Structure 1
Amino acid sequence: MSPDTVTPAFKRPLTWLVPVAAVSIIMSLLAALYLGGILDPRENLRHFPVALVVSDEGDVLPNGQQANIGEQIATGIVDGVDPEKIDLRRVGIADAQNMLANGEVYGAIVIPSDFTKRVGILTQASVVAGDIDKPMVTILTNQRAGTLGSSILTTIGDTALDTANGALGEQLTAQVTGALPEGSTLSGAASLTLAQPIDIVVTPYDPLPGGTGLGLSSFYFALLLVLAGFTGATIANALIDSALGYVPLEVGARFRQRPRSTENRLATLAAKWLTMVVIAVVVSALYIAIATALGMPVPHSLALWMYGTLAISAIGVTALSVMAVLGTPGLVVNLVVFVILGLPSAGATIPIEASPALFGWLAQFEPMHQVYLAVRSILYFDARWNSGLAHGLAMTVLGLVLGLAFGGIVMALYDRKNLERVPASEAR
């Protein structure tokens, strides 16, 4: 075989330069967005929601003074965080639990009602032999809102409380030392106890069960729904176009070109839309069956199947409309919208509040984020309306309506102008 028959297309620069340039640009965008979104979450923090609960009732200290040390600790925590980075919401314990149950905060810092009383007991016990419990502050992490979010919260809580712990330790040490008889000194154990008087306990609120991938199962299920819509639309588009004779079907060494259909553009697109809905019904059910067989908890399987069907349909319908309007470039547009921009702005592996501001803006309308919120609500938050399900459902329906309107209106205009799907040489 001669070189001319092997590489005739390669001799025309545009034949290979265009794909090289297109792939290079898209992959560079992919690398910049993905790496830029994960490298420094703590540096990107902005308005990271955390509940602060101060239930301390105060008490009379051994020196006879009425005090509320819990309020003092809370003030130290507030002063120790950057309000632009941390959205510290001071609420009661019931409100905090409601926020945790709905995924509105990544965790809570809880100062109990007997905090000051325990501080007083600690100062008295420091000069008397015997064991005593330190006053406790609890950091409740919300694994269901995101594993990395819980890790960031723990770091924030530890940092803020370490500062408050040290300040309270200096205060108590000075008080106890000043009250000692002349010539007496604190023992080494007492000094160590007073230097760090607060016992900081980190514990998960409503821990996730096994089989949830440490809180990642909701993200991967949402990703599967988006891929089913995007990839399913791409496959359906190609196979239906082949069946209608608009493009050839090549299988191995075989090449087949059916007679071209005479249906108008809108009718063709409608057929693809209906096919996508059937795909959505089947694939959503298969996903749940496979997840259940693999041991993933699916507490609301019917709700998940119904939402999954809607999500796949909405993404698939929109993707088909984009390809119908733009043709081959629509494949690239869909890839960018549903995958390249969607994954880093999902808010699943990296919280939106710990991602670059660009991703926070994208998350307002990117399909991946909306699907993730709804799926997370169904899987982790008992399908509560206020835990992301209402928002995700509304945005998914809106996406479906926009996809139908975009494709339907443009196809109707194409048909009205007699822009038939024929080769340019045959166009009227």
Structure 2
Amino acid sequence: MATTDTAAAGPPRRHLSPVRWALPIVVMTLLGSLLGVMYLDYVVDPEKNLHDFPIALVNQDVGETLGPPGREQRVNFGEQVADGLRQAVPADKIDLRVLGPNEARQAMQSAQVYGTIYIPSDFSKRLGILGVGSVVPGDIERPIITVQTNPRAGAFGTSIMQRFGEQAMTQVQQQVGKQLTEQVRAQLTPQPGGPPAPELSGAARIALDSPLNIVVEQFRPLPGGSGEGLTAFFYSLLLLLVGMVGAMIVHQLIDAALGFLPTEWGPWYLHYPRASISRVQTLLIKWSAVAAMAVVVSAALLGIGAALGMPLDKPLALFLYGAFVMIAVGFTCTSVLAAIGTSGLIVNLIVFVILGLPSSGGTVPIEATPKYFQWLANFEPMHQVFLGVRSILYFNGSGTAGLTRGIWMSVLGLAIGVTLGLTITRFYDRKGLERKPVNRA
């Protein structure tokens, strides 16, 4: 039966000492400052923070023999373009990976690169035809270089890839145009006693200055209802928040039901008699509630996503992974609260939210944030959860696209949470550190 506690009367000034009311202000100032640094530092200047941004380069050009009879020469403009790109891109910002076509496709399908530049097999041949066509009448087509973006790897990554393509291809356009013009002029140089060389027309010079047709296309475009690649991030955020906030609510309500905390309902103040229960038993009850909550909420989130038209190719995988993530996060959060008490709220907030969201890679790629975010992403829960959810939603549940890492890191997090909770609560129980008020004068 519920009982109503009345606080013992005492001098109010003792409870309103400057130290007591200043403490929350200091704590919130520190948390607010940490929030400001983490959230602003990763969005202020992504271009400046760009580092090791992976892009694939596929050169399939087989080369061509060009030139008039007696002055033929073997050329491979594709190799020249590839060399020019490697020299033009800043090595500290762009990780340009020279791959074969199959390797590049696999890298795109597993989110290992944000885009691919394709140089076709007939690149040199078409450039040679363009050079001849500049002085010989006839229909010609400019050779194509394809810049493929990977929208499933992230919307912001796609925009960075597009800007890189524009800047890099402008330099390549100028380089190839200059080389092709020089080659055409060399071929037009008259031999002694031969007919005079034709002059390059203005139209021919314009065509030679910009000889390439740069085509930008998407690799496996996202289906409708994917939020331009943001549904994975927000679904991951939901899993993390439900796991963390749910654990805190479970912790509070169960402690209140067991009589360890008072409960307030509007003007009513209730404090149940304190139950005779060990810390380990209390923690096991909370874990049971968290596990049940995770299963129910995971099903609810899946149903809401389906009702809103979110593409769900692997609903069972998303349901199971979502429930497991919330269990891992919830168990760890309740263990932290059981170990250090109320201050565990601050620890959970820092670990799962303040440090987790900016290092998740869900909105701004990790490669476009300050390098310490990349270090945080190695172990911060939010990044691991995002990789798993993104793999299920956009990459057909591919293990190499992040699901394997997401599962194993969740297993590790759950193991840490269980070990921490059981170790600390058993230690407290053995030492006789019961959960009861401490009499203070």
TM-score by length of 1: 0.95
Report the alpha carbon displacement of residue 9 of structure 1 after superposing the two structures with TM.
8.1
The structure 2 residue matched to 1:34, chosen from 29, 39, 51, is 39
Residues 293-312 of structure 1 correspond to what in structure 2 (within 5 A)? Answer: 293-312=307-326
1:68 and 1:183, CA in 2 relative to 1: closer, same or farther beyond 3 A? closer
Of the candidates 39, 42, 49, which is equivalent to residue 44 of structure 1?
49
What is the correspondence of 1:123-162 to structure 2 with a 5 Å cutoff? 123-162=131-170
CA–CA distance in structure 1, aligned partners of residues 67 and 426 of structure 2 = 83
In the alignment, the residues of structure 2 paired with residue 95 and residue 119 of structure 1 have an alpha-carbon distance, to the nearest angstrom, of 26
SS in structure 2 opposite 1:425?
coil
Q: Match of 1:257?
A: 271
Deviations 1:284-315 (A, max 9, x none): 11001001100100110000000000000000
Report the alpha carbon displacement of residue 19 of structure 1 after superposing the two structures with TM.
1.1
1:371 and 2:376 aligned: no
| Corresponding position of 1:188 | 202
How much identity, in percent, do the aligned residues show?
48
Q: Which moved more, 1:170-179 or 1:249-258?
A: 170-179
Residue of structure 2 in register with 1:92 after alignment:
100
Q: Within 2, Cα distance between the matches of 1:175 and 1:112?
A: 21
Shift of 1:40: 1.3
Task: Kindly indicate whether the alpha-carbon contact (under 8 Å) linking 1:177 and 1:185 is maintained by their aligned counterparts in 2.
Answer: no
Say yes or no: does 1:18 pair with 2:23: yes
Corresponding residue to 1:362 among 369, 376, 397 = 376
Separation of aligned partners in 1, 2:84 and 2:354: 42
Give, as a single letter, the amino acid of the residue that structure 2 aligns with 1:352: I
Contact 2:135 2:198 in 1 (8 A): no
Task: Tell me how far apart the structure 2 counterparts of residues 382 and 353 of structure 1 sit (CA, whole Å).
Answer: 24
Task: State the distance in 1 between where 2:169 and 2:422 align.
Answer: 58
Matched, 1:199 2:213: yes
Q: Tell me, what secondary structure is at the counterpart of 2:221?
A: coil
What is the aligned counterpart of 1:167 among 172, 175, 181? 175
Return the offset for 1:192: 1.3
- The 8 Å contact of residues 119 and 135 in structure 1, kept in 2 or not, is answered as yes
Q: Does 1:56 align with 2:70?
A: no
Question: Alpha-carbon deviation of 1:10?
Answer: 8.4
The farther-off stretch of 181-190 and 45-54 is 181-190
**8 Å Cα contact 1:47/1:84 also seen in 2:** yes
* Conservation of the 8 A alpha-carbon contact between 2:67 and 2:187: no
CA contact 1:140–1:204 (8 Å) conserved in 2: yes
Alpha-carbon distance in 2 for matches of 1:218, 1:284: 14
* 1:288 aligned residue: 302
Q: Give the total of aligned pairs.
A: 421
Q: Distance in 2 between matches of 1:316 and 1:343?
A: 17
Contact between 1:76 and 1:160, CA under 8 Å: does it hold in 2? Answer: no
Conserved 8 A contact 1:110-1:139: yes
Larger of the two Rg values belongs to structure:
2
Residue 62 of structure 1 contacts residue 124 of structure 1 at CA under 8 Å; is this kept in 2?
Answer: no
Given the alignment, which residue of 228, 234, 243 partners 1:229? 243
AA in 2 matched with 1:62:
G
Tell me which residue corresponds to 2:290.
276
Relative to the length of structure 2, the TM-score reads 0.93
Q: 1:217 aligns with which of 215, 231, 234?
A: 231
Q: Is 157-166 or 378-387 further displaced after alignment?
A: 157-166
C-alpha displacement at 1:80, in angstroms? 0.9
Q: Is the 8 A contact 2:143 2:213 kept in 1?
A: yes
Return the offset for 1:48: 1.2
User: Are the structure 2 counterparts of residues 152 and 134 from structure 1 closer, same or farther at C-alpha, using a change threshold of 3 Å?
Assistant: same
- Give the SS at the match of 2:264: strand
Matches of 1:128 and 1:336, distance apart in 2: 70
- The partner residue of 1:349 within 353, 363, 366 is 363
Letter in 2 for 1:108: T
Cα distance in 2 for residues equivalent to 1:33 and 1:9: 37
Identify which range, 349-358 or 178-187, moves more after superposition.
178-187
Which residue is equivalent to 1:401?
Answer: 415
Displacement of 1:144: 0.6
Query: In the TM superposition, what is the alpha-carbon distance from 1:213 to its structure 2 partner?
Result: 0.4
Aligned equivalents of 1:183, 1:366: Cα separation in 2: 68
Contact 2:389 2:403 in 1 (8 A): yes
Cα deviation code 1:311-366 (max 9, x no counterpart): 00000000000011110110000000000000000011111111111110100000
Pair 297,157 (structure 1): closer, same or farther in 2 beyond 3 Å: same
Letter in 1 for 2:48: E
Kindly state the Cα deviation for residue 152 of structure 1 after the two structures are TM-superposed.
Answer: 1.1
The Cα of 1:130 is off from its aligned counterpart by 4.1
Query: In structure 2, the residue corresponding to 1:201 is in which secondary structure?
Result: strand
Question: Retained in 1: the 8 A contact 2:333–2:348?
Answer: yes
1:176 to 165, 184, 201: 184
Deviations 1:247-271 (A, max 9, x none): 0110111111001111000100110
- For the pair 1:79 / 2:87, whether they are aligned, the reply is yes
- CA distance in 1 between counterparts of 2:436 and 2:67 reads 92
Determine the C-alpha separation between the residues in 1 that align with 2:23 and 2:421: 27
